[in-house]
Structure 1
């Protein structure tokens, strides 16, 4: 391993050490204030995560619409580069049987406005999903510290999170797939080519990936959204029980 790699590992260890030190200091601060440090740390981290998620969503959306180059993942037909005739390689221990690359992470100039909008919204929604979950955790911890674990706002936040996860998670995957498929055809679907060596056995486009469309219906948001909806129902039930208990006292 070269010095460059060791430098990266050292920087990573320093960053991790700083984060751990900050968490320890924050935990001690919460403890001195008579607050459970676990709840306090969870509140702090989740609130920051929710904030960063919202900021990331805005940055991704604006960048997709305004930058001259679009950073996007596009699908391609199963593709494997072909070596020039007479080329042999050594040192490999496995042989490709079938398949190949099915997507590419690229920077594209000249992508259509429709693809930019769909990709930007899809990626922004993808960033908002974990932000909503982090926001729910922050609200729940804040109310718990106030001694109101079953406050109505927690149940409402849980239902909002359920909608964001269900709609945002599915829309993010579908819109991103549509945008990637659009750019795949805009970038790779050629209608003519010139050049080459003139040798009929030498195809100048043999290493050119073919455009394709790929659409996947994400199912995880359905289960996750229903889970948060069930949590909202449980919290509402807990709120009613708490009110009934207070009425008996």
Structure 2
């Protein structure tokens, strides 16, 4: 004995198809660009990166006079990173930097997949399928873990690159305009002393989890509705058999 099932009539607005294809293309492009960036970190003779440095501000030689001098003056602070291309970078720094790109790419790919799955379910007229909530939960996990890992890898790789490019054990100078006995006096920046990890991946993951929970609740409501409909059709069929 078979009973009829009710399915929602699929609605296929143009904007929904557009979002689906944009998400799909973004996922493919993010994966390709991630592999290219990681490959460049590992194999390119010159690695382009934001090189972290200890807070640095260039000092003018005592003989330099500015006329007229700027109205405001720098009282403290300085640059903490520089956009540079570094040659001769060691394998350890390259591996960490490549790992940072791979983890960050994983975040973009997972989000793109989740959006594409959502649009696909909507185009089929059945958004509350188990595949959607599972994909959202997985995306949240990837965003949280890979988002933090990408920052750690980039930070460690940046510190390694900074040490390799800026660490100096000895130097000499013959310039009467330079006063002092440290590297800052000759305008040389020092390697970075650390890095920070932002909490945005965790906040982003929590938002995705909230959406996934909402879809999981919708799945349960849809399952209950279908079960009640089946019971109603069965009762109707049994009643008609008694007439």
* TM-score bucket of the superposed structures, by smaller chain: 0.7 to 0.9
2:193 to 207, 213, 230: 213
Please list every run of 5 or more consecutive structure 1 residues that lacks an aligned counterpart in the other structure: 1-33
2:153 is equivalent to residue 175 of structure 1 = yes
Please list every run of 5 or more consecutive structure 2 residues that lacks an aligned counterpart in the other structure: 1-10, 230-243
Where do residues 59-208 of structure 1 align in structure 2 (5 Å cutoff)? Answer: 59-89=36-66, 90=68, 92-197=70-175, 201=179, 205=183, 206-208=186-188
**CA drift at 1:40:** 1.6
Cα 1:138–1:91, aligned 2, differ >3 Å: closer, same or farther?
Answer: farther
Cα 1:200–1:128, aligned 2, differ >3 Å: closer, same or farther?
Answer: closer
2:25 is equivalent to residue 48 of structure 1 = yes
**CA drift at 1:229:** 2.1
**CA drift at 1:60:** 1.1
**CA drift at 1:199:** 6.1
| Dislocated runs of 4+, deviation >6 Å | none
2:226 matched to which residue of 1? 246
TM-score normalized with structure 2 length: 0.82
Greater shift in the superposed pair: 123-132 or 161-170: 123-132
**CA drift at 1:119:** 0.6
SS at match of 1:182: helix
1:232 matched to which residue of 2? 212
Measured on the aligned residues, the alpha-carbon RMSD in Å equals 2.0
Structure 1: distance between partners of 2:140 and 2:107: 10
Identify which of structures 1 and 2 has the higher relative contact order when contacts are C-alpha pairs closer than 8 Å and 6+ apart.
2
Question: Which has more radius of gyration?
Answer: 2
Structure 2: distance between partners of 1:78 and 1:203: 18
Structure 2: distance between partners of 1:50 and 1:199: 56
